[in-house]
Amino acid sequence: MERATFAAGCFWGVEEAFRTLDGVLETAVGYMGGNTENPTYQQVCTGETGHAEVVDLRFDPERISYAQLLEVFWAKHNPTSLNFQGWDVGTQYRSAIFCHTEEQRQIAADSKAALEKSGKYQGPVVTEITPAGPFWRAEEYHQQYVLKNRPGCRGG
């Protein structure tokens, strides 16, 4: 089992996109990339903690590759939007890939470069690629929010 962590806007719909993939064994939403220990949702929403809303997942690389997870990540949000996705605005909604290994960093960098070269977007891809730091699990009501509150919705 391996671990991957992605930030692509509000974590509810992003978690649902990954949770339903064959080979993803578990997901959790929370916060990463900031400077506050054990932050609350209310603190992260101020934008002052430096954390991004993230989906932290465990996956079976025999069933789904890290590169395939990146394809879902890129498709789930607009990676040219600096610090916002849709109606959600702030650094907590930034596009980021938090890498747990050097191999993940290289695969992510290659994937980002290929996306930029593809011409799919007119603007630059602003997604951060950084080493993973501590993961702070969000409050329980955020976990699998779409599944619990809007069954059948594949959220966005």
pLDDT value at residue 39: 97
Residue 130 lies in a domain: yes
156 within a domain of the structure (yes/no): no
* Inter-CA distances, 51 with 20, 23, 88, 128, 129, Å: 25, 27, 14, 13, 14
pLDDT at 87: 87
CA 123 to chain centre: 20
Which of 10, 45, 99, 153 does the annotation list as catalytic?
10
Answer yes or no: is 29 within a domain.
Answer: yes
Amino acid at 64: I
pLDDT per residue as tens, the chain (156 positions): 999 999 999 998 999 999 999 999 999 999 999 999 999 999 999 999 999 999 999 999 999 999 999 999 999 999 999 999 988 899 999 999 999 999 999 999 999 999 999 999 999 999 999 999 999 999 888 888 777 887 554 444
Q: What is the pLDDT of residue 140?
A: 85
Total domains in the fold of the chain: 1
The per-residue pLDDT for 151 is 59
Has residue 155 been placed in a domain? no
- Boundaries of domain holding 26: 2-149
How many Å is the Cα radius of gyration of the chain? Answer: 14
pLDDT at 46: 94
> Is residue 154, in this structure, part of any structural domain at all?
no
CATH number, residue 65: 3.30.1060.10
Active site residue 99: no
Give the Cβ contact number of residue 67 at 10 Å: 12
